[in-house]
Structure 1
């Protein structure tokens, strides 16, 4: 079975067109793996962050936050090791303490470019990245969270502490100002994708903010591509304590439309007891896959070994996650033998057209 599943690999130039939507470290982790399978990647990244070095540049320069964008650019970059090290470098002293050179580089490009998305494009060219990275919108947006007790807080960086103080679930999040317009290139990439991937990443602060941008949900609905949500492995302290897979899916549908996707990829790799116990001390746990409730929501759970433990932390393993996504796309597609020198590979098409 393993040999049969592994045979579905395409040359990278002919790999499936993937639109990956999210933010934070989860999205960049997945991109590192996907670029080994396809060159046709578009990462669509939230711009609601207002903490850390990104928040400082946002406040000082009035620009969208560069951090999540920079992480994705680094993940897809094809540069010399020195350049990669330089982009990742963080200043340790003075007024720039904690700031990364990559953020400053993007900020400088933003200063000489007509728009933020064009600054991202220029940095993409400098780094010779595989695929594309796009901000979901050029608008200057803030994230507001409303809790079940009615309390509201504005600012992505403030949600964690406020949730801990209120000790209740997040009811919903919204963007301020509401209904910013999606970058047209982002919407087009989604519409034309063979596979649309949501996540992995923080539910309310990395994934959902993208769905609140006008044109993104509509583009996902219009796409014929296979639509997959990559669920986190663990619940997230200060955001999704006690959530099951169905709770994640229900929140995504509540902030978009029911049936936005029909597949949810979850992890089947075992997590050591000691690691799980340490997470439990911080109020986090393995996300339970309540299949029956997911099925009631119209979503099929696909359980695959996609996680690993790194330095005591549970993470998606880039290569494993990418491989399972590519195989999932192939398994849910009609496979037509290629021609010429690529005859031992497959061209992947969906029944009745390009996609599902």
Structure 2
């Protein structure tokens, strides 16, 4: 059960002398959102940011403070799942006493997504309007370099920065080794060592990498220490910390739904349930971009411009891997992601084809009704 107590937390992060607009500014309000809200404001509608979603109930922070809202029927029935409000979204709503009704989602600056868990190929939007992702891994059997690369790859594709946090550094003899391993992937992002349970490295993380007014999404598997890190960043108990199974070192979910929390240093962190799957949603033809920095640099020297780096002659990527200048884990990860994206790309193309067919059938039916006048 989620233990964020908004009624108790809000006074601690929103002093009573704050104006309504400064409250929105604390939560990331800017001119881009203001411009998109202008017409709605003239129509007497309010604006707020989504803090939590629990079933059909949305907790919003607006100019007047916290309000619970539901989706309007038009929004609920007229939008695809990915277009409905997510944690971090700014939404326009109509307030009726203590209840609100969400009318529209303001255009997003970006969205953090993954492939829906399981065998399906649909995309799941996790959060919206995120400045950077905190990619958390524990060093007690949870460390997996290929998983980190997958997270970095997908996050970069979403147009979002990344900060890798290697937690439980006190449980390994040489934590700097793991720090170097992550750096070897070639992504230009901070790699921070912490022991959240002992508060080691947390102050450095907050002061050097988490900026006031910016939004960070905390991602990681269950048991990596997300709840402990959230408590350490907050400086108190935000939620109960979960146990880790001694049999398989897998953690138990303590966060049951996503929540946006304003941290005392002025930044916002979106906490999420542990994710054992983080499927990528990138078209195959995009794979050699800046999201695979080492592969992209080497690909410029391949004999063929459309080289897939599988078995083509004159492939600079394969040559570098055989020479040892390209880490094998990077190459193996590339092959795995390439195969995964071929499947995802095929599904996306099929879905677009079906949507085009459905649209054509709908237009034909409309024309037929007009001709028959019914």
TM-score normalised by length of structure 1: 0.29
Higher RCO (Cα < 8 Å, 6 or more apart): 1
Which structure has the larger Rg?
A: 2
